[in-house]
Amino acid sequence: MERTYVVPGESFLDVLDGLHASDIETIVCRHEGGAAYMAEADGKMNQRPGVAMVTRGPGAANAHVGLHTAWQDSTPLLLFVGLIPFAHRDREAFQEFDIKAWFDTGAKRVMVLDHAERASEIVAEAMFAAMSGRPGPVVVGLPEDIIRQQIDPALHPAIPVAAGGMSSTDAAALRAALAESRKPLFVTGGNDWTQEAADQLTGWLERHQIPAAAEWRTQGTVSFDSPSYVGPIGYGRPRPTYDLLEETDLLVFVGTVPGDVITDGFVCRQDWNKKNFLVTVDPSLRGRSGPVSRQILSKPEAFVQDLAGIDLPVKEEWKAWTERMRGEQEHFAALPPAAPAAGQARMDTLMANLVPRLPEDAMVTFGAGEHTNWAHRYFPTRRYASMISARNGSMGYSVPSAIAAALANPERRVVTIAGDGEFLMNGQELATAAQYGATPLVMVMDNQEYGTIRTHQERHYPQRVSGTQLQNPDFALMARAFGGFGITVTEDKDIPAALDAAFAAIDQVGVFALIHLIVEQRVKAY
């Protein structure tokens, strides 16, 4: 691993000492939730677990939000937790808690290092558990007195992770299903991809003129520009994409399963008359909705390598089906007018002026809220890991994930879109960005409310606004106080100049930049 995200505690001083002058960069964070989110985002971007370190009791409790994100988003994550001394256990010592009782239902494994000589073995096991099968979080407890002991520094070898793959019978079944299909659809998702696998799948789909949709908040596996890419499937999707699951006659899910969000609340009925192939290395199919025609036990990379051996003549029906849905996606993602309108600032104008300024490999991160819809619709995700988000709907993710992305990819343009309610949950991590030279562009959409909750409230309790309104600080002033660039925009005409100034601060001064965009309350992306 390249770095670990830490909120220090006296319970693991010896680990911190071990990190001194090591090749592993220690990123000191301002809150355990922010540290866990950064590690989770790191795990999404790489074929290895992200790593966070926190202390016992309150520290572990604060990190739980990142653990839940990793669990629902299938992200490899290691959370190391300093514990009370082994000799003090079960006596309600200071900050004592039962680590297995707390985390056992929300982690793939919970392990405690009770014997110093097993330290390297435990770490190897934890790495393996986080990456094998369906990826996810693993928690490792470090008793304070155990980690002080001197041991043989010999390292346990890494445990290889099985990638699976298509059997000959799997390949024959998929070939036959494709040959019979009139309207096939691939759905990509999860975090278990490589850029090579994404490119190979995209090429295969384009050659066969077969469409692919993206699981909610995982856009970029099949490029935004690909003639096979037909848009995201998830909350807030446009109507033509919404209809894809009903209209298709063959579904191939790669790296994910038809879960709650993809199926709009488990709408896959038992009488669903569709063939489907679920390509996942998780034999339990956790989170699946509806019947299954066939499971292929494989990670995406192994599956795509085997898929290359399936070559079929292109059907005119496939071509027409793909072109129609691609046209719907192009219409949906077409940028609004870039010319500012009179009056209050608008997110449409911001996106219309932002997107043309982005390089090909730009990344976007965001958490949860209606402000994310502009990224879903307009942001050009052209490669794997160009959209880093929290699919469990976790708020407070935007700033920490942007910092992790900027640290891991300093050569790429990293943009995060935060809502006003979400930003203040972990906005203090801008201090971490300043400390370590991370330079994301942070855009805060300020509509003075928890917008998603207000939308549901208006649906169920119209004209009875309660518990959703916010009074906000000057976010731009806050950014400047943390050592970055900040600018507030209230009028639409000022957006282009604000973007120019923000990019100049990033590129010429080398600091993060924040645009505080004050918009109308009930503004919608679609």
Residue count of the chain, please give it: 526
Q: 149: Cβ–Cβ under 8 A, 6 or more apart, which residues?
A: 116
CB neighbour class for 343 (10 Å; exposed up to 12, middle 13-18, buried from 19): exposed
CA–CA gap between residue 204 and residue 125 (Å, rounded): 36
CA–CA gap between residue 219 and residue 384 (Å, rounded): 8
Contact assessment for residue 144 and residue 84, using Cβ atoms and an 8 Å cutoff: yes
What pLDDT was estimated at residue 87? 81
Token readout for 27 is 């990123």
Q: Domains of the chain, with CATH numbers?
A: 3-148 (3.40.50.970), 168-332 (3.40.50.1220), 335-518 (3.40.50.970)
CA–CA gap between residue 391 and residue 74 (Å, rounded): 10
What pLDDT was estimated at residue 243? 73
CA–CA gap between residue 487 and residue 494 (Å, rounded): 10
Can you give the pLDDT of all 526 residues of the chain as single tens digits?
Answer: 899 999 999 999 999 999 998 999 999 999 999 999 999 999 999 889 999 999 999 999 999 999 999 999 999 999 999 998 888 888 887 778 899 999 999 999 999 999 999 999 999 999 999 999 999 999 999 999 999 999 888 899 999 999 999 999 999 999 999 999 999 999 999 999 999 999 999 999 999 999 999 998 999 999 999 999 999 988 766 666 667 778 899 999 999 999 888 876 666 555 566 899 999 999 999 988 888 999 999 999 999 999 999 999 999 999 999 999 999 999 999 999 999 999 999 999 999 999 999 999 999 999 988 888 899 999 999 999 999 999 888 899 999 999 999 999 999 999 999 999 899 999 999 999 999 999 999 999 998 766 677 676 777 888 787 777 768 889 999 999 999 999 999 999 999 999 999 999 999 999 999 999 998 875 655 6
H/E stretch holding 69 = helix 58-73
The neighbouring-strand residues paired with 278 are: 253, 295
DSSP for 282-349, written as a single string: -TT-TT--S--SEEE-B-HHHHHHHHTT---PPPHHHHHHHHHHHHHHHHHHPPPP-SPPSSB--HHH
Question: Residue 337: helix, strand or coil by DSSP?
Answer: coil
Contact assessment for residue 458 and residue 407, using Cβ atoms and an 8 Å cutoff: no
Nearest to 382 by CA among 396, 364, 366, 407: 364
Question: Residue 10: helix, strand or coil by DSSP?
Answer: helix
What pLDDT was estimated at residue 415? 98
